[in-house]
Amino acid sequence: MFKTSYAAAAAVMLIGGSASAATFDFTSSSSLDSNKQMTVDGVTLTAYAGIYADKPLSGANEDEILHTDCSTTSSCDRSVYQGSSGLGVAGVADGPFIDGFFGNDLLTLSFSQTVDFSKVDFSFWDDSDSFDLFVDGQLVAPEERSGETPFWLSGLRGTSISFGADSWNDSYKLASITVAPVPVPAAGLMLLGGLGGLAALRRKKKS
């Protein structure tokens, strides 16, 4: 009885551990705190502004063309801009949009845990806009993406995602993103092992 009940509890932990989707809405001038962070359903997001060089997927080291966080280098002058229409990237001579003026803007969202990316919604988006997509710093094929907003990201998983503008025609803001935290099965397995140890200890005491 004892062993069966604990096994059932562990099974619930393993099977029912999936988390529901979390939507980060940036359409408020106070969406992010002073550290450019936002927490929804226990998942914390940090936004970074950067620039990058538009290159096709060719096996090149992406670190050579990416500056994900401009606050850590003197080679770019971008910062995260937030307003009532969403997040953008601003610079000394650069407007508050994710655009291709004076260098290709890059907006990176880093998460406190691994997530499944579901969809992203842009504002100021039209038929001439497109974006390059990076997951965990790697350019994702196809390199350039366009179409209707919201844009579905199903099948992509990681701890960070970046949206880059690669031409003068691109100019938009990030209105929201929806992700689903990835359950950590190791935690359930550790629990199962611990419960098994308790069961063995109890049997030993009874004998």
CATH of the domain at 69: 2.60.120
C-alpha 156/C-alpha 140 separation (Å) is: 9
Asked if residue 177 and residue 110 are part of one domain, the reply reads yes
C-alpha 179/C-alpha 25 separation (Å) is: 12
What was the pLDDT predicted at 36? 97
Asked if residue 166 and residue 127 are part of one domain, the reply reads yes
What was the pLDDT predicted at 76? 83
Asked if residue 101 and residue 11 are part of one domain, the reply reads no
Cβ neighbors of 98 (< 8 A, separation 6 or more) are 88, 89, 105, 106, 107, 131, 163, 164, 165, 170, 171, 172, 173, 174
What was the pLDDT predicted at 203? 57
Return per-residue pLDDT of the chain as tens, 207 residues: 323 344 444 433 444 445 699 999 999 988 999 999 999 999 999 999 999 987 655 555 555 568 889 988 777 889 999 999 999 999 888 889 999 988 899 999 999 999 999 999 999 999 999 999 999 999 898 889 999 999 999 899 999 999 999 889 999 999 999 999 998 775 455 555 565 555 555 555 555
Amino acid at 117: F
Cβ neighbors of 186 (< 8 A, separation 6 or more) are none
Asked if residue 11 and residue 27 are part of one domain, the reply reads no
User: Where does residue 181 fall: left (phi above 0), alpha (psi -120 to 50 degrees), or beta otherwise?
Assistant: beta
Q: Is residue 66 a contact partner of residue 106, using CB atoms and an 8 Å limit?
A: yes
What was the pLDDT predicted at 55? 66
Peptide bond between residue 183 and the one before it cis (omega within 30 degrees of 0): no
- Cα dihedral angle (14, 161, 56, 93), rounded to 10 degrees? 180
Asked if residue 153 and residue 63 are part of one domain, the reply reads yes
Q: How many structural domains compose the chain?
A: 2
Asked if residue 196 and residue 106 are part of one domain, the reply reads no
Range of the domain at 9: 1-18+184-207
Asked if residue 157 and residue 203 are part of one domain, the reply reads no
Residue 106 burial by Cβ neighbours in a 10 Å radius (0-12, 13-18, 19+): buried
Asked if residue 109 and residue 203 are part of one domain, the reply reads no
CA distances from 169 to 58, 124, 125, 172 (A): 24, 12, 11, 10
Asked if residue 162 and residue 72 are part of one domain, the reply reads yes
What was the pLDDT predicted at 59? 54
Report if pTM > 0.85. Answer: no
Helix axes 2-15, 185-206, angle to 10 degrees: 180
Asked if residue 45 and residue 6 are part of one domain, the reply reads no
Amino acid at 11: A
